[in-house]
A and B are shown apart, each in its own frame.
Chain A
Amino acid sequence: MACLYIPVQNSEEEVRVALDQLPRDAADILDILKAEQAPLDLWLIIAREYFKQGKVEQFRQILEEGSGPEIDEYYSDVRYERIAILNALGAYYSYLGKIETKQREKEEHFILATQYYNKASRIDMHEPSTWVGKGQLLLAKGDVEQASAAFKIVLDGDRDNVPALLGQACVEFNRGRYSESLELYKRALQVHPDCPAAVRLGIGLCRYKLGQFDKARQAFERVLQLDPENVEALVALAIMDLHTNEAAGIRTGMLKMQRAFEIYPYFAMALNYLANHFFFTGQHFLVEQLTETALAVTNHGPTKSHSYYNLARSYHSKGDYEKAGLYYMASAKEINSPYEFIFPYYGLGQVQLKLRDFRSAQLNFEKVLEVYPDNCETLKALGHIYVQLGQTEKGQEFMRKATKIDPRDSQAFLELGELLISSDSGAALDAFKTARGLLKKGGQEVPIELLNNVGVLHFERGEFELAEQTFKEGLGDGIWLAFIEGRENFQEIAASESIHQYKDVQFFQQLQDSGRQVKLPWNKVTTLFNLARLQEQLHNPETASILYRLILFKYPDYEDAYLRLAAIAKARNNVQLSIELVVHDALKVNDKCPNALSMLGELELKNDDWVKAKETFRAASDATDGKDSYATLSLGNWNYFAAIRNEKRNPKLEATHLEKAKELYTRVLLQHPANLYAANGAGVVLAEKGHFDVSKDIFAQVQEAASGNIFVQMPDVWINLAHVYFAQGNFALAVKMYQNCLRKFYYNTDSQILLYLARTHYEAEQWQDCKKTLLRAIHLAPSNYTLRFDAGVTMQKFSASTLQKEKKTADEVRSTIAELENAVRLFSHLSAASNLHFHGFDEKKIDTHVEYCKNVLDAAKPHLEAAMREEQQIRQRQEVARQVALAEEARRKAEEHRKFQLERRKQEDELKRVRLQEEHFQRIKEQWKSSTPASKRRERSEIDDEEGGNSEKRRRKGGKRRKKDKSSKSRYETEEVEAEMMDDQEDPEDEDANLSYRDLASQNDQDDAEENAHDPLAAAGLEDSDAEDEAVPSTNTGRRKQAWSESDDDEPPERQPFSRENSPELQESDEEVREDGHKPNGNAAAEDED
């Protein structure tokens, strides 16, 4: 046991003080020391002893007494001890100042320490220990340069002064000059091999900083050998263990960290590391406690920053983004430049991204990028932000850079692919494929979402087989395979029940009951839906239907599947079932679903339920606050149809509807300037108003834009374009356009387009082409009697025009007669059929027509006989002439020439005679016309009151109606609206929506023909019932007839002299026929021109 002997003054005795039994009250010792005037070194020893025992108060008391003025006086010549006491006090206060966290007290402590050191200096300004103390103080104050100067003073005097060496080493370390620091530590150790563990700690830290980890580890371990409780060494070793990034290393590291924590729970770095660890283990409560403690015990900027970062991260992962953001900011504030500690900026960026503060996030990520220009995650984040900010190109650029820097980062390719979907599907597909390849190479499972996207892209590019493969790969094994491959027979149903087939999910129930597993994981639904869509596209609607039903069996709320089923039913013309699916199923899931409502509207239109359809479209539009382009366009179309429907009745209403339609189309165009359907609609309205050049431009652009995507099928724009060509008289182009459209979109099956084609031929006076086209149309649509009527009219017209020709052969006349006979037959069929109400023609009108034709025919027959006789004669004479000519030729050429001329003159005579006969025929015709009973005329003029106006007005109307005819088609196309609106979001689900939507469109396409045919009827259906009988035929046929008649208006002038011979009274009868709208033949029209 260590003892201290205080010599008793003026004696040889000594007071024995056991150092481990120092009195609690320092005053007792002080009394002794003072009384015995003990040497000052004893004071110091006792004070130090108190300090060692942790009795800081006593330590301070003794030293303060020992440095008092009395002592200075009494011991004035004992310089070294006095300095030592002062230095001890200085060091003590330096330490206090160093650990004090409150700024004011800290400074107070430092001031005291400075005072003590200054006092010591005053005693002997060369005392090295004072300088060392001062240096330490300056270091504690963070004044590295001055500290260095202080230490240098000492070292200049004694280059082996260990404390100064250590101090200087510390300075160098702080300056970041680790090798110099290491040298100084080493020297200190050489000079003083038994120096405390802390010196070796310094060496370890230097080596660590220099990257000499093994040597650093040795140094730390040596420290721990010497001082097993050395927290710093423990922490340092722990950190090194943690950084090995191996499970075992991390485990031992954490154990060390824990021990350090147990030894000294206020070591900030250890706390931070522990917090870090618990962050990863998810114990956020501990994280907060630890970091809060760490924050409380340290003032060190980077450490605090780290603590804040831990805290922020903890909140971040808990989803408290506001708080996380604040702490990230606090963390960032603690450091001077992002180069020191970049993580908080990254975290802050992430949080801001989450909170959709893209600008700030962008700034933070850019800071990160400054430090780590090749950091993929940051590049990706920035790419994403730029996309969100609308700078897609820049976003892609970043994403591309990310993929370039790490071409094995499947995630980056995935994101790049998603970015590209909307702009460049080809590049997107490549990116996705790369991602898939990388994942496969890495042995990872390829996520179904990725395969789904790849599949959809293939699908969109028309690569159906690849798409199917991909979808199947994504779906893997399951019950659906049986359906796709047709192994499961799901078709046995009684025919009477087949109507409900599309709603039936019982089948799956049965399968399940019979022990089969019917499973469909939720993440495969989308892909299965897409596969079903693909099956539709591949013309396997049955397979598609069963897949949709499988989805619905498991997920009865999947609206899109109902809508697709409805679309399939609609494609089959099963409107009732389709409506049922929409109303009872899809709308039950969500009665505000705009897609379902729009579809319902379409179906109601198909059912001629105009008023209902309008309400439904409006509901669809309301459901989306008017943002749903499809609904808006549907309304626009509705108005357009209404305009056409009402044209005859109320021009004012027509203008209103047209204006409304235009407004709606424009509204959509404002929202989506690239909406093809709206553009098309706008073009139609313009064409309707006669602005053909503008509308032609629009249609041409839409047509160009619509090509190249299998989901955008816009035959209507082709038709509209053709209509415009037609209206501008460019028949050849119009014909080409109609034909291309027919072939490209309708497999040549659309009788309505054939009708347009026929009309163009008619206008171009290509009668045979016109007739053939109409016959084809009849063959395709046998129940459309209008076509037969038109065919009849064409043949009439052909006959008439042939008869009007100045030169014609008997063969021509004969074929003319044949055509007339056919026409009569067609008309009389129509007439007979009208008794049975096959079609909507008015019986009386047809009768009139038949009678007329028969009369013409009767008139023509003798004419034919005459023509034939004539021809016979001509032929005989020609024969004679030929023989004569031959004979003459044998003689002389000049002679022959003269003969030939003679012969020609004869021929002309013949022709003249023929023409005379034609005129005769014509007259007979006219006579017949005038003989039409007047009573009938009156009756009719009553009915068609407004039509009875002057011919000027009629012509105008005719022109108008022609436009209508033309655009009656176009409107339908506008109907297929849809598409665009749902444009491509990255989400695969949205992709689905697209799919279904687009399909709706194509459905519409299919329906066009039929709807058009029925349209006038539909129009009629809305009118009051007593007018209906009249209205049906007039609307149905009037349109076309009007077209014929219009062409007559343009009859070439050379024919006019011929008709001028007619008497005025004949005109009246013509007028009458025209009133009927039956437009008997060209002559009548030509007369009108007179």
Chain B
Amino acid sequence: MADFQTSTQRAKWIFTPQKLAERYKASNHRAVQLLEKCGTTQVEVDASGSLTYPIEKADAGGDQGDKKLKPLSVDEERFMRAFYEAKVQEVCSAFEFPHKIQATALQYFKRFYLQWSVMQHHPKEIMLTCVYAACKIEENHVSAEEIGKGIKQDHHVILKYEMAVLQSLEFDLIVYAPYRAIEGFVNNMEEFLQAREDEIQKLESLLKAATAEADKVMLTDAPLLFPPGQLALAALRLANGVLGVVDFDRYLENIVSQPNSEHTTSEFIKLLDDIENLVKNYKYPSEKDMKHINRKLKSCLGHSSSHDESKKREKRSKHKSHRSSSDTPKGAPIS
């Protein structure tokens, strides 16, 4: 599928910075409300995609004795996502999946958490499910079992969450990544430079460096804010800033002079600056941050931090006095 212009990504999944901030705030708010009303935020999921919300508790309004549960803030949620987005890249590299799959998994993960708070669905489970779904959709099928085995995680979790994830993605499954566009631009630069042998080699190293830069861009909010072509150009400009292969401003002018260009050079430069700033301001949580956030998250999800994985599951099943909402097909709250 090579038509971003008519894609669901362009129509539905690219936001203004304001809108994106609102979405994050809204999903955080929904979880905060759940916590206030129900004393827990965990939304249970089954393989057929039906969701079970926690039930309201009369005394959940904060009077929990001395241990009042504190929800994650919007920024803490961002850290949590950043941590697991980096994990997506780790897992994909461990399996030596192509960049495209990694990018698809990241997009899925990002889109999922526009609908949900990390307090409602644990990001580890969603991360694994996104990797699995990305492999499947990109026709690079790896069984859930293999993924689970490869990283020593229970693959049943993946199968359990698959439908809920697909549904939260509104079944818009084809996503566009900057990598193809980078290749296209580099080919185009070859013509632009009328490259000789040595320059072609330089362009090859530019391609490699830009791909690495694109990996960084994919970890920011940029994929939800900009079309893949612009992400690609930003990655190329970042890489070219180090390697100095082409006169980038002249190259941009060349692009802008094409008849189908929608932007002026200065507009373009502004867009690329914005993307670059996202990369520069990208924050990855420290170990200390994560410890703190993790503790909070666990208590919100209704597990105490001292329990190991298996006990956690046990405990969760004890908490299963949930209201069934399986008859609401669109489980994701509408924002």
Chains A and B bind each other? no
Chain A residues with CB under 8 Å of chain B are: none
